Chain A
Amino acid sequence: MTDPRTVVVTGGSRGLGAGIVQSFLDSGDRVASCSRSSTPQVKEWEAEHPDRFLFVEADIADREQSTAFVKAVVAKWDSIDVLVNNAGVARDGILALLSDEDSDTVVDLNLKATIHLTKQVVRTMLARRSGRIVNISSITGLTGYRGLTVYGATKAAIDGFTRGLAREVGSRGITVNSIASGYLRTEMSHGLDEGQLNQIVRRTPAGRLGEPDDIARAVQFLVDERNDWLTGHVLVVDGGLTC
């Protein structure tokens, strides 16, 4: 058993994020998470792991709240070993009918908030010359999916961010990778109708939608201390859908 790490998972109150938080609590690490509001799951973790679970209500698309969240983590645990940029939002609808507000919401959270929060965290990692960053991306950023143009654009952008940052900080013991997730059975996929979901399952070699744990295991792999030669990569975890 290695020493507990301090892990930040954005958007960890439900869905995929909650699965990733659970995975790091299970591996004995300290986990800090944030989202706009608490959930029964969050309350449960707070009661169960008061010493190694921290939750802050914060909308990271708001830079002040994002900064306050990172400062709260560093104040409590001094440094951050692992950052999982999971917070994201999808607004489905064909572009020609998508409101500017919806497209701004997606860009502001998925892209701008991720960049801002990562900047702050990578500074603490640079001061210590070690760290692991995983950006939760999507196969919609690789293949495109009708109704998810802006969402897919932010995810493709995040993959570019991953590669650039990996080059910047690679010499300082910090790795940066993306996971291009396939379609999961979480709330984020609720924009897809029954027919679309069935079609996805039919086209998926593994024959099912993904579960948060499918992604959480890949995150654990990428942030393993021994994996210091795996960086700047986009790991596709999609049951084979895009292979």
Chain B
Amino acid sequence: MTDLQGSILALIQSLLERSDKADITVALDTPIHGDGLGLDSLETAELSAMLEDEFGTDPFGEGLMPETVAEIVAFYSSAGESGASVPA
């Protein structure tokens, strides 16, 4: 697991803990909504804000709607791969 994957998983885990969903296991292929993490719209907004806090930008704020944890990771790794700096 890369550092990026690890920090995103940790961030999601902390959100789940404070939402009393600590028993959910988070993996890269876990869906964010529904049977996966089961985030509601407010929890999704919190995740978006926490990601922006941590990384300076976030996929939801960019108009993307990632469906899985892996798609969130991909948003940041593609920003890195293309050589584009992550906007502050």
A residues neighboring B (CB under 8 Å): 71, 123-124, 126-127, 129, 168-169, 171-172
Contact = CB atoms under 8 A, between A and B. Distances in A.
Nearest to B52: A123
Interface in B31-88: 42, 45-46, 48-50, 52-53, 88
B50 A129 contact: no
9 contacts: A123-B45, A123-B52, A124-B49, A124-B53, A126-B42, A126-B46, A127-B49, A168-B42, A172-B42
Contact of A127 (B42, B50, B88): B50
A29 B58 CA distance: 30
Contacts of B53: 124, 127
A75 B88 CA distance: 10
B18 A126 contact: no
Contacts of A126: 42, 45-46, 49
Contacts of A129: 18, 46
A109 B42 CA distance: 27
Nearest to A123: B49
Given A169-B42, A172-B46, 15 more contacts: A123-B48, A123-B49, A123-B52, A124-B53, A126-B42, A126-B45, A126-B46, A126-B49, A127-B49, A127-B50, A127-B52, A127-B53, A129-B18, A168-B42, A171-B42
Interface residues of B, number: 10
Contacts, number: 23
A127 B44 CA distance: 11
Contacts of B46: 126-127, 129, 172
* Shortest 6 CB-CB contacts between residues of A and residues of B: A123-B49, A127-B49, A126-B49, A127-B50, A126-B46, A127-B53
A127 B45 CA distance: 9
Nearest to A168: B42
Contacts of A71: 88
A135 B11 CA distance: 32
Contacts of A172: 42, 46
Nearest to A71: B88
B7 to A, nearest CB: 15
B2 to A, nearest CB: 23
A170 to B, nearest CB: 10
Nearest to A129: B18
Nearest to A79: B53
Contacts of B18: 129
Contacts of A124: 49, 53
A189 B49 CA distance: 39
A129 B18 CA distance: 10
Nearest to B88: A71
A37 B73 CA distance: 42
Most chain B CB inside 10 Å of its own CB: which residue of A71, A126, A168, A171: A126
